[in-house]
């Protein structure tokens, strides 16, 4: 089962705006004492429209399968302090 662990706005250098959603697979790690236990597994990034993204670094993601924006790198928008 996957669960959302983060969501944030992102924008490319040419102004394309989207929202990136980080999902994490929850894997079975049950024991005899706790057979239903789960733990964190692999993470994946997707746009709000469901398109896969490749991790570039903590703040940048490359959109990989959106035919309109394939190869576009978007950067996390951090709130102003």
List, for residues 31-58, the tens digit of each pLDDT value: 999 998 989 999 999 999 999 999 999 9
Is residue 59 predicted with pLDDT exceeding 90? yes
**C-alpha to C-alpha distance for 40 and 80, rounded to whole angstroms:** 31
Count of residues in the chain:
81
- With respect to residue 81, please indicate whether it lies within any of the assigned structural domains: no
Parent domain of 45: 2-76
- With respect to residue 62, please indicate whether it lies within any of the assigned structural domains: yes
Report the predicted TM-score, pTM, of the whole model to 2 decimal places: 0.85
- With respect to residue 61, please indicate whether it lies within any of the assigned structural domains: yes
Total domain count for the chain? 1
């Amino acid at each position: 089962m996957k669960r959302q662990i983060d969501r944030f706005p992102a924008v490319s250098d040419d102004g394309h705006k989207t929202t990136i959603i980080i999902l994490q697979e929850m894997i079975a790690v049950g024991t005899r004492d706790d057979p239903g236990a789960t733990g964190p597994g692999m993470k994946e990034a997707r746009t709000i429209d469901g398109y896969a993204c490749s991790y570039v670094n903590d703040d940048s993601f490359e959109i990989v399968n959106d035919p309109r924006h394939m190869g576009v790198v978007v950067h996390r928008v951090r709130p102003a302090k």
